[in-house]
Structure 1
């Protein structure tokens, strides 16, 4: 079996930090040339660090909630990659916690705009490129909230449920044209988004941990293997799948 990605060209949105940085790291280690597409200055630092060895790594900064910036960032990314794109990891995302009755409309629009609308917009752009090539791998980052309602995160839950269904819809249209579209659904992961839960709500943290059969929260490194697998030709007959990486949480 060959899980190498030598010669493959990838864009990883949200790749400046967190889970998507580690996914990009895994693909880079497997040989892929990568554009990290994220907001802020940290993406340049991340690309410099990741590019110290192996394949080339580029940085493109953009606010993906702005469709004009998103399109320009995609075009710049494609330029870096010589006009060819094999892999898109669609992972940029934000969170806002609040009871639904008090949820600010501007925060709803922000979360949906980045977590769902931008996922479609850049998948559409990448899909056009890949359709011309008759080949491509799109990996969306959903969440286990695509399966569970959760609480106090109504916008995030709605966005990730949308990502899961969008993944299936795109797969239905593109799988027969050489493009595999799948999603990874992380469970409770130790990230900047969840870092304060243990301190601010220790009872909830312990309750969650006790339900995870593996007895621990996930680490960003836990996503590297599945991402590289889905990006490889070994996963050529997998499309439209939403794959949980949750330590067994959903099965309990």
Structure 2
């Protein structure tokens, strides 16, 4: 591959890259030529994701990480730098959700969601900063949500965390622009993954309402995120920073 979207010779870390949206993005980056480090807490899932990427002809590695543990995140970046020789791209995708009315969350549950989704994005972004500065630049892609834009009655801490991700993205973009580091967010719409499939099966009415609201008349699939991720990871986006791009089939545009 050649041109603005070529990622040959680049190395990417994708946290939560062992399934769902993260794996869809990892496959897109690999197809564009990047070597990909799949980072997650589940070693078995990490290995399976790497096998999928290698079956596609990609250069890939697995690394275990807990994104809310600074030592673990530092070990991740060191392992990737040692194995791949560099770090050019971070996709901060690791996240969780617990769905229930706001008054029923324990404070421990609140902290767990905020810590993984928001604080974990911060720890990973700051951890790759030295490598980016040494390389003369880099790309950070954070993962927001439709709940970065809209509220929801059973996702209060998740929505708070994803709204925070967008504001963190803008702040990091401003802070690190002078280092030739671009920081942008992708806001996935409703994507068909193992995690969302469980919710869809328990609430078919919700599935129907979301599909009706989406101009594309379908839920997304993980591969739908790949093109936007490649763009934001490539030279094509060198003058794009601090943005939040919905990839939602038009959901956010529909009244």
Query: TM-score, normalised on structure 2?
Result: 0.95
Give the equivalent residue in structure 1 for 2:146: 144
- C-alpha contact 2:73 2:127 (8 A) present in aligned 1: no
Higher mean Cα deviation, 26-35 or 126-135? Answer: 126-135
- C-alpha contact 2:185 2:245 (8 A) present in aligned 1: yes
Describe how 1:1-252 pairs up with structure 2 within 5 A. 1-40=3-42, 41-82=44-85, 84-252=86-254
Q: Structure 1: which 5+ residue stretches go unaligned?
A: none
Name the SS of the counterpart of 1:194 in structure 2.
helix
Higher mean Cα deviation, 44-53 or 135-144? Answer: 44-53
Offset at 1:53?
Answer: 4.4
Q: Tell me how many residue pairs correspond in the alignment.
A: 251
Offset at 1:105?
Answer: 1.6
- C-alpha contact 2:67 2:123 (8 A) present in aligned 1: no
- C-alpha contact 1:47 1:58 (8 A) present in aligned 2: yes
User: Could you say if the C-alpha distance between residues 199 and 54 of structure 1 is closer, same or farther in structure 2, counting changes exceeding 3 Å?
Assistant: closer
Name the SS of the counterpart of 1:176 in structure 2.
helix
- C-alpha contact 1:31 1:54 (8 A) present in aligned 2: no
User: 2: CA distance between counterparts of 1:54 and 1:202?
Assistant: 38
User: 2: CA distance between counterparts of 1:81 and 1:122?
Assistant: 17
- C-alpha contact 2:90 2:141 (8 A) present in aligned 1: yes
Structure 1: 4+ residue segments shifted above 3 A: none
Q: Structure 2: which 5+ residue stretches go unaligned?
A: none
User: 1: CA distance between counterparts of 2:206 and 2:124?
Assistant: 35
Offset at 1:135?
Answer: 1.0
Structural RMSD (CA): 1.3
User: 2: CA distance between counterparts of 1:142 and 1:184?
Assistant: 6
User: 2: CA distance between counterparts of 1:43 and 1:168?
Assistant: 30
